[in-house]
Homo-oligomer: A and B are copies of this chain.
């Protein structure tokens, strides 16, 4: 399994790694059981520090997206249970984010259209 990550600016590196892997899981590219490259390997290929990759992997592990198997490999895990705590937290974050858009002058309608477009692209 190969992970390619474009290290664009703005977001922190570990966040970009985190987001990329979440993306892979959502898109189906990374299936349950997929073994990720070792933190050391990935850090070398991204030309980034080991700890930075390790941090991303560990947050993914804590959030239930990865597990460490007996061989100490990071393996993609499908989240089974719906976590109401997560939904609550997610809604909070979403409200904050929409507020940010409103604060920057976007109208409710504009935001609604953007959100619809994003979701339609996902469904495809």
Contacts and interface: CB of A to CB of B under 8 A. Distances in A.
A32 interface: no
B79 A105 contact: yes
Nearest to A82: B105
Interface residues on A, range: 35 or more
A94 B97 contact: yes
Contact of A26 (B62, B79, B89, B103): B103
Determine the main DSSP class of A at the interface with B.
helix
A65 interface: yes
Interface of A: 7, 9-13, 18-19, 22-23, 25-26, 62, 65, 67-70, 79-83, 85-87, 89-91, 93-106, 108, 111-112, 114-116, 118-119, 122-123
Contacts of A103: 18-19, 22-23, 25-26, 65, 79
A70 B10 contact: yes
A97 B104 contact: no
A99 B25 CA distance: 9
Given A94-B118, A118-B98, A104 B22 contact: yes
A115 to B, nearest CB: 5
Most buried by B among A9, A102, A105, A119: A105
